[in-house]
Chains A and B, each alone.
Chain A
Amino acid sequence: MSLWESILAALDSLRANLFRTALTMLGISIGVAAVIVLIAMGEGTKSYISNEFYSLGTNLIIVQPGRTETKSPLGPPPGAANRDLTIQDVRALERHGTLLSAVSPLMMGSATISIAGRQRDVMVLGTDDSLPSILSIGMANGRFYSENDSFAGRRVCTIGWVVKEELFGDANPIGSIVRVARSEFRVIGVMEKKGTSLGMDFDDIIFMPVRAYQKLFDQSALFGIRAKARSQEDLDAAVDQSRKILTRMHHGEEDFTMVDQEAMLSTMGSILDTLSYILAGIAAISLVVGGIGIMNILLVSVTERTREVGLRMAVGARRRDILKQFVTESVVLGFLGGALGIAAGLAGNAALGMLSDKFQPAVSAGTVAFAAGFSIVLGLLFGVYPAWRAAALDPILALRRE
């Protein structure tokens, strides 16, 4: 009997017990669908996170005060610093960091901003003129403050889109004086709409020169430093160079943490990979349960079809013919279950993808092929024992059974 004929025969006998076949298949289908959806969610999360990272600019180098022994992708815990990062550190990096295209100090706080009776609590970023290029944020209106403004610590600011809408509505804010905490600032620009990145709403923010921030908050230590390497190829070298410069600035002590974007991403990536493999592994357990279901049903089927086995043997079927027949049924069952599971998994992914435009579950063709192959192997694995039981039947006893 050709392979194709064997498959048709298997389909035929699976059809004889349609409901039972469907239930058995469901076990495999659910497992396969779960594996596919979970892997796709893992991949989707990964690309979501990397998109978020790259939306904050590329070739980014992040310096935080304090030394962390264990490599955490998110830098040291705040407040663990024993020596602060300062404007002088930024200047040193600007002067000696030949592999850097931009360096900015970063200070973060919150304050109430008000004008003509309207007010809003916003996040305040103290930084200098190169931050927009590092984080690739553009202007919607007006201009960002200049190097000169930064250096002089002029009380000027640029505001995010939401701040502008809330305080000014449709009016043009450029040139207006706003009150930030106890001081007055002149609005010189409105930032382009950026949305939320990594949990921070860039539209509900105001930027001011770092020296103005230091005066306003009476604080000199930096929250951190952000720098940009000249190119992706230079990134590693730029990190090394910056580390040397800062270590020298700190009298030979490396009391800061420096991470580059790629390292952060790959750390995140491997954490997420581990996570999604664990999840897929859990889902794979349900596949094994499905396989046991196949085995169980086949064992029942062998018992029910003892007489059939006896008849086939009487007309010349060898043991291996019987073995082949039952294994084929099991493999076909596994494959059909797998195919159904793949279809359900892909449909599930499509449905999840419609919930958000930023998060898109994604599976590779390789994963799908693997799932299909795995369900066939599962059918084979769990079909062999029942098939062997059928093939080992004594034809005489099988024919006596009624």
Chain B
Amino acid sequence: MIWRAHAAPPRASDASATSAAIAAPSIVLELVSKIYASGGGAGGESIEVAALRDVSLRIERGEFVAIIGASGSGKSTLLNILGCLDRPTRGRYLLDGDEVSGLTEGQLARIRNERMGFVFQAFNLLPRQTALDNAALPLIYSGVGRRERRRRAGEVLAQLQLADRVHHRPNQLSGGQIQRVAIARALIQRPNVLLADEPTGNLDSRTGREILEIFRAMNRDLGVTVIVVTHDPALVQSIPRIVRLSDGAVVEDTTRGAAAPPGEALP
């Protein structure tokens, strides 16, 4: 029956992945490339655009990383691959020790649902649904009942100071509130990784700082790995690790000494 909510069968490697997760780094990219073949060459031959070139990257659990770089340098592409929304053309991606590239579309959807949280720059919310239902959206796809969904969404929204906005629709919310609802949605499944693509791009600098402050708290208090794509130099300053992309390649990867060593943030 297509109607029944359907949990994907447990993977054999689940148990080992959990035990390995303590020791294994959260995210490992090995020589990952993303190549787009786009038509339009003079002779009709297709031109290959490398959005990412041989990117290798390790991100430990509980790290807070900023991805920066010029427009078109491949930041979004990298974030989408990290979030299992997109697949690399070449290279390996190990998430908590598991090879991701061999997984089916359904398994990737489950990873996005349970282990990843996304926050985008704009059009983050479903316009016709309330803050409560927007925040609860991921729970629909893991088979949680309506009542329980709303209860949990209410809790997370309250933690984000939105208790009095739960029944508002996106067009009744400010930009900062919308991003907070999106963060609530990203956090509702208690993900390991929170991915944000220019989450403050549409906000004034003060609200932007507030949103970043929320990320910092999530990272510090819940041990969530946070990866943020941003253009905003003011925000970048306060983020412990910076990965700079240029033309699809990592050209800089610096961790500030002031940052807490990875692992210490874990409870």
Contact = CB atoms under 8 A, between A and B. Distances in A.
B137 A315 contact: yes
Contact of B85 (A320, A321, A396): A396
Nearest to B83: A314
A16 B171 CA distance: 14
A69 to B, nearest CB: 59
A247 to B, nearest CB: 67
A313 interface: yes
Interface string A375-402: 0000000000000000000011001001
B93 to A, nearest CB: 15
Contacts of A311: 123-126, 137
A318 interface: yes
B135 to A, nearest CB: 10
Contacts of B150: none
Contacts, number: 69
Given A315-B137, A395-B85, A308 B126 contact: yes
Interface string A133-153: 000000000000000000000
A1 B80 CA distance: 27
Contacts of B105: 318-319
Interface stretch (A2-10, A23-31, A232-240, A357-365): A2-10
A183 interface: no
A316 B110 contact: yes
Nearest to B197: A399
Contacts of B110: 316, 318
A317 interface: yes
- Chain A residues touching B, majority SS: helix
B128 A314 contact: no
Interface in A293-322: 307-308, 311-321
Interface stretch (B40-48, B112-120, B153-161): B112-120
Given A311-B126, A396-B85, A399-B120, A1 B140 contact: yes
Contacts of B248: none
Given A324-B2, A395-B85, A396-B85, A318 B124 contact: no
B146 interface: yes
B114 A316 contact: yes
Contacts of B2: 320, 323-324
A1 B1 CA distance: 12
Given A1-B5, A313-B109, A318-B110, 7 more contacts: A1-B140, A12-B128, A311-B137, A319-B105, A395-B85, A395-B86, A402-B122
15 contacts: A2-B3, A314-B85, A314-B118, A315-B137, A316-B110, A316-B142, A317-B109, A318-B105, A318-B106, A318-B110, A319-B106, A395-B86, A396-B80, A396-B85, A402-B123
**Nearest 8 pairs of A and B residues by beta carbon:** A316-B113, A316-B141, A315-B138, A318-B109, A3-B3, A314-B118, A316-B112, A318-B106
